[in-house]
Amino acid sequence: MNQIGHFIDGKRVDGTSGRTQPVFNPATGEIQADVALASDAEIRAAVENAKAAQPAWAATNPQRRARVFMKFVDLLNQNMDELAVMLSKEHGKTVEDSRGDIVRGLEVCEFVIGIPHLSKSEFTEGAGPNIDMYSIRQPVGIGAGITPFNFPAMIPMWMFAPAIACGNAFILKPSERDPSVPLRLAELMIEAGLPAGILNVVNGGKSAVDALLADPDIGAISFVGSTPIARYVYGTATASGKRAQCFGGAKNHMIIMPDADLDQAANALMGAGYGSAGERCMAISVAVPVGEETANRLIDKLTPMVESLRIGPYTDDKADLGPVVTKEAQARIRGLIDKGVEEGAKLVVDGRDFKLQGYEDGYFVGGCLFDDVTPDMDIYKTEIFGPVLSVVRAKNYEEALDLPMRHEYGNGVAIYTRDGDAARDFASRINIGMVGINVPIPVPLAYHSFGGWKSSSFGDLNQHGTDSIRFWTRTKTVTSRWPSGIKDGAEFVMPVMK
């Protein structure tokens, strides 16, 4: 049995806590490895290692830090196939989808190669009589990232790339469900020239999270996961004086206007709703057609498309989607579909009993399509995180707009229309963090920021883009005056510019 440990001081190390958790192959249900769960002492050892290494890294000039990421990007491209298969084997998503996971993380690494420019700040000569004023950005010190199972390459890179580029050391606590890729990324960072101790990876569950939250030497925490845990991490971290950015759940809507190209809209819904088995925080899980005619035509187009989804293991290069990540996730998704039927929604396509020959023990769920869903139903309110699309019919644009506006979550939203006025009004009024206009999954590129509103996000600064540089640094402002410009005698009044 493959034993997966931690990555501390530039190398893999075995776990010493005596506690492990199995890592499954979601396509077969078989145990393929045991991952060590770190003790508090192991977490502390990783932090001490990072603390010893960080000052020299912070003193390394930004160009040299950027060169590490130049080499790392090159290594990611060289090792893309190995990483994608490794990721798919533990997560279950298709290999091509895994490549997309890695590339979207790689793009943030490309962005931080610009750290010599991104970390520049401001200078004002002559801000007052013989006074110069300037600000500088300095690293927080040690940061920590707690990442989810659904993007085991992308989200760790979204966190550690800007943190490390800014001069911090970083402790990564990835999901214990698919831990192999984060450890391999750490090895590649060392190969790219990162000093040992600047990126440590520790595996573990809630106790590891709590140890990171309690550690006095960790100055900032980044988290992605469910909303209840995001709220807990944010509250605990900030109460102990840490800065925190915590991203939670989602229920992303797509509004389809009567003038939309329905073929484009249906294709967008298929990819955004069922890709990666719906296990994306930016998945479209609610379609809102405006008007009965639009709704009926949309259902007619979607039904055969959902019925013909090709579901298979990651080794099937023709599969549209693979299994969900765990048996527990499979049971939870099926239970929510059952609840939707009980509540009166119309299950147009039922994938609950999907079985794949030769993979009967895999965690597969067939594509499901609901119609006549209403906002009071659990399947509308809850993030299902599975291959389930709910259609909520709206009589008009205002009713359609009101649905995502009133929902608890505010991560992503989209509208499909040919009407520029409607699109502009929608983008202006909607209270959602990321908006797509004829774009189904509006994940911003690396040089813009990623983050939701409402119960989807806690904290003032988002991931990647310039927000990430602000989050992983502290601003220090210096006011400077030299003796030749200083008057004799004490001044007892508040200094002002005259």
SS3 349: strand
Which residue among the candidates 166, 246, 281, 368 is catalytic per the annotation? 281
Bridge partner list, 370 = 347, 390
Residue type, 252: N
CA 346, 310, 283, 160 dihedral sign is positive
The beta strands (E) that lie in 174-311 are given as 199-201, 220-224, 243-247, 252-256, 284-289
What is the pairing mode between strands 412-416 and 434-437?
A: parallel
Residue 368 annotated in active site = no
Six token digits for residue 113: 């190669």
The beta strands (E) that lie in 339-433 are given as 346-349, 368-371, 388-391, 409-410, 412-416
Residues near 24 by Cβ (< 8 Å), separated by ≥ 6?
30, 31, 32, 90, 177, 326, 327, 363
Spatial contact of 227 and 409, defined as CB atoms under 8 Å apart:
yes
Question: 181-185: which pairs have CB atoms within 8 A and are 24 or more residues apart?
Answer: 181/83, 181/86, 181/87, 181/90, 181/152, 181/153, 182/147, 182/152, 182/153, 182/156, 183/4, 183/6, 183/7, 183/12, 184/79, 184/82, 184/83, 184/86, 185/83, 185/153, 185/156, 185/157
- Cα(280)–Cα(282) distance, integer angstroms: 5
Residues near 54 by Cβ (< 8 Å), separated by ≥ 6?
139, 141, 142, 167, 168, 169, 197, 198
SS3 34: strand
Using DSSP, how many helices (H) and how many strands (E) does the chain show?
16, 23
Residues recognised as catalytic: 281
